[in-house]
């Protein structure tokens, strides 16, 4: 399949894939150190055992995590850019956002600052989208899928605040339940008083299990971001080969076809509220579909008709010519984008809103996918990256957030909270920051324990939190503009 590509494009493709896997490898030792920080610091597990076990759980988290978060990342870019990308713009987009994300991640890791890879990646994608809008003289409001960006921003802001509060309440509950328990000692205090280096048995079990749970959900959430990046690379550079899942079964193709039919019926059923927005019922002919395809809600009816014509009698996507597969993807993305806007625009009874959500899921049955080799590659990169470079961030989380060392109870509270928060985000396909959830959880326990916080460390974390988005946006936007001027224009 790839043998038909021109040599320069094939080399660019492999280089772009290497960049993505490098990002995931860096993410492994940059973010996953947070998953093992408490279990190493409290001596619940030896460091080597902890990082190897964490790497294994990260690996399986990626394999079993699905692709919901992956496409939440992909759909930060506007649908017009996703359907109209060519090889040159695809290369510029991919290398710009990856270079920006890798540079910021390495910089914050070098200084031992628990910064967020999620914020970095999302900022880089936003920067590329906004730069593309300015270059193509598109309204900035159309340069990024702002509704998706807002949803993700809310999850990124709320999750660490929730982590802070829930971890603090968790610790307060443990202190109320067993105020004299040795779980409220630091490892140094336990060693001095009883000569024991390891936590009490059940504390140790909770610390180990929760650390592996954080590793698993981290692999699921952050691994999907890598999967989304690789799908951006594949669709951007070789769209004819990866526009659709060519391994889709007849049933899955039928789901897409039926969803388009029922979507049309849905709009007709709600024509009273939607006829003006969707220009329903206007006389149409095939020439109404513009030669340069562009998503437009007023083209919804003829886009549905074009999709149904393209899929008529199709049982396997390899029956379609490469251009036809690309057209099908364009139709599906545009119909999904319009359906998303309709769900926000018009008043719909709850049952109708649920129907629309189901139709969107069926419509995307053959476009939101990832080949197994992509998932496996990301799993290996993230899993192996976990096993190196963890010491800097472990020291920061264990010793430099609070004025006193972390107790066993604090470690349990922070880790259990992080596992629950990230797991819940996975259920709702929302990317969150493992770094911020866990470090804010540790900070919450320090406040609840009246240990106080180290102003310098907290200041560094907050500065990184505040600067990550704007720096990654500006850096990726600048790189994209430079690549466009030098190589594309």
Integer Cα distance of 101 and 430 in angstroms: 19
Integer Cα distance of 47 and 158 in angstroms: 31
Nearest to 113 by CA among 423, 407, 401: 401
Q: Specify the range with the lowest mean pLDDT, choosing from 246-255, 313-322, 431-440.
A: 431-440
For residue 369, which phi and psi values (nearest 5 degrees)?
-150, 170
Report helix, strand or coil for 453.
strand
Q: Specify the range with the lowest mean pLDDT, choosing from 19-33, 172-186, 190-204, 416-430.
A: 19-33
Instruction: Give one DSSP letter per residue of 8-47, joined into a string.
Output: HHHHHHHHHHHHHHHHHHHHHHHHTHHHHHHHHHTTSS-H
Query: Averaged over 81-109, what is the pLDDT?
Result: 78
Q: Is the predicted pLDDT of residue 9 greater than 60, yes or no?
A: yes
Q: Specify the range with the lowest mean pLDDT, choosing from 2-16, 152-166, 474-488.
A: 2-16
Q: Is the predicted pLDDT of residue 298 greater than 80, yes or no?
A: yes
Q: Is the predicted pLDDT of residue 114 greater than 70, yes or no?
A: no
pTM given for the model: 0.84
Query: Averaged over 43-60, what is the pLDDT?
Result: 88
The CA radius of gyration of the chain, in Å to the nearest whole number, is 24
pLDDT tens for 428-473 read: 888 888 777 888 888 888 888 877 677 776 777 777 777 888 899 9
What are the distances in angstroms from CA 90 to CA 52, 129, 416? 36, 12, 40
Mean residue pLDDT of the chain comes to: 83
Say if residue 192 is exposed, middle or buried (CB neighbours under 10 Å; 0-12, 13-18, 19+). exposed
Q: Specify the range with the lowest mean pLDDT, choosing from 50-54, 269-273, 393-397, 398-402.
A: 398-402
Q: Is the predicted pLDDT of residue 396 greater than 60, yes or no?
A: no
pLDDT tens for 145-159 read: 787 788 878 887 888
Nearest to 328 by CA among 246, 268, 262: 246
Integer Cα distance of 117 and 225 in angstroms: 10
* Orientation of helix 322-345 relative to helix 300-311, angle to 10°: 140
Report helix, strand or coil for 196.
coil
Integer Cα distance of 451 and 454 in angstroms: 9
pLDDT grade for 404, boundaries at 50, 70 and 90: low
Q: Specify the range with the lowest mean pLDDT, choosing from 228-232, 318-322, 435-439.
A: 435-439
What are the distances in angstroms from CA 272 to CA 40, 267, 299, 300? 62, 9, 18, 16
65 vs 290: which has the higher pLDDT: 65
Task: State residue 30's pLDDT score.
Answer: 67
160 vs 394: which has the higher pLDDT: 160
Residues 50, 460, 125, 424, Cα dihedral to 10°:
50
Integer Cα distance of 202 and 178 in angstroms: 13
Nearest to 274 by CA among 350, 219, 359, 339: 339
Query: Averaged over 48-64, what is the pLDDT?
Result: 89
Q: Specify the range with the lowest mean pLDDT, choosing from 64-73, 163-172, 303-312.
A: 64-73
pLDDT grade for 62, boundaries at 50, 70 and 90: very high
Q: Is the predicted pLDDT of residue 293 greater than 60, yes or no?
A: yes
Query: Averaged over 418-433, what is the pLDDT?
Result: 87
291 vs 322: which has the higher pLDDT: 322
Distance of CA 328 to the CA centre of its chain: 25
Polymer length of the chain: 489
Contacts of 313 (CB under 8 A, 6+ apart): none
Q: Is the predicted pLDDT of residue 1 greater than 60, yes or no?
A: no
465 vs 322: which has the higher pLDDT: 322
Query: Averaged over 287-303, what is the pLDDT?
Result: 74
Task: State residue 379's pLDDT score.
Answer: 93
CB atoms within 10 A of CB 275: 14
Q: Is the predicted pLDDT of residue 389 greater than 70, yes or no?
A: no
239 vs 390: which has the higher pLDDT: 239
CA angle 297, 225, 52 (to 5 degrees): 165
Nearest to 27 by CA among 15, 35, 38, 39: 35
Query: Averaged over 231-251, what is the pLDDT?
Result: 85
Q: Specify the range with the lowest mean pLDDT, choosing from 144-158, 212-226, 261-275, 450-464.
A: 450-464
What the block records as the tokens of 435 is 């770094």
Percent of the chain exceeding pLDDT 70 equals 88
Q: Is the predicted pLDDT of residue 291 greater than 60, yes or no?
A: no
DSSP H/E element including 416? helix 408-427
pLDDT tens for 326-337 read: 889 989 999 998
């Amino acid at each position: 399949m790839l043998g038909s590509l021109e040599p320069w494009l094939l080399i660019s493709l492999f280089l772009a894939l290497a960049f993505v896997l490098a990002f995931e490898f860096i993410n492994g030792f940059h973010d996953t150190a947070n998953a093992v920080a408490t279990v190493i610091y409290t001596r619940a597990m030896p460091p080597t055992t902890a990082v190897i076990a964490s790497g294994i759980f990260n690996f399986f988290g990626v394999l079993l995590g699905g692709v919901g978060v992956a496409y939440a990342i992909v759909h930060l870019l506007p649908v017009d850019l996703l359907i109209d990308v060519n090889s040159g713009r695809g290369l510029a987009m991919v290398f710009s956002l990856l270079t920006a994300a890798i540079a910021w991640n390495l910089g914050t890791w070098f200084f031992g600052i628990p910064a967020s890879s999620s914020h970095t990646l999302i900022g880089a994608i936003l920067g590329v989208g906004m730069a593309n809008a300015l270059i193509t003289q598109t309204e900035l409001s159309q340069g990024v899928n702002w509704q998706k960006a807002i949803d993700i921003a809310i999850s990124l802001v709320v999750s660490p605040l929730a982590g802070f509060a829930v971890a603090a309440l968790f610790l307060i509950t443990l202190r109320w339940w067993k105020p004299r328990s040795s779980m409220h000692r630091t490892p140094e205090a336990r060693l001095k008083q009883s000569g024991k280096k390891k936590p009490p048995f059940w504390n140790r079990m909770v610390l180990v299990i929760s650390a592996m749970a954080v590793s698993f959900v981290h692999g699921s959430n952050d691994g999907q971001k890598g999967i989304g990046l690789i799908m951006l690379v594949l669709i951007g550079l070789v769209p004819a080969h990866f526009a659709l899942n060519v391994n889709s079964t007849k049933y899955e193709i039928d789901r897409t076809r039926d969803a388009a039919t029922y979507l049309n019926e849905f709009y007709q059923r709600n024509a009273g509220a939607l006829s003006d927005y969707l220009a329903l019922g206007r006389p149409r002919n095939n020439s109404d579909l513009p030669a340069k395809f562009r998503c437009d809600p007023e083209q919804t009816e003829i886009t549905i008709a074009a999709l149904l014509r393209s899929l008529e009698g199709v049982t396997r996507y390899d029956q379609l010519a490469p251009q036809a597969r690309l057209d099908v993807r364009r139709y599906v993305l545009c119909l999904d984008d319009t359906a998303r806007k309709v769900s926000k625009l018009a008043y719909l009874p709850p049952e109708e809103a649920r129907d629309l959500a189901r139709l969107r899921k069926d419509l995307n049955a053959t476009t939101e996918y990832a080949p197994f080799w992509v998932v496996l590659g990301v799993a290996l990169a993230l899993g192996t990256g976990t096993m190196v470079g963890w010491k800097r961030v472990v020291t920061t989380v264990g010793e430099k957030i609070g004025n006193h060392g972390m107790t066993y109870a604090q470690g349990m509270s922070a880790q259990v909270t992080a596992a629950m928060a990230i797991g819940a985000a996975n259920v709702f396909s929302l990317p969150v920051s493992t770094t911020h959830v866990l470090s804010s959880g540790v900070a919450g326990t320090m406040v609840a324990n009246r240990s106080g916080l180290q102003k310098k460390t907290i200041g560094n974390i907050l500065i990184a939190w505040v600067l990550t988005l704007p720096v990654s946006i500006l850096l990726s936007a600048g790189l994209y503009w430079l690549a466009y001027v030098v190589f594309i224009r």
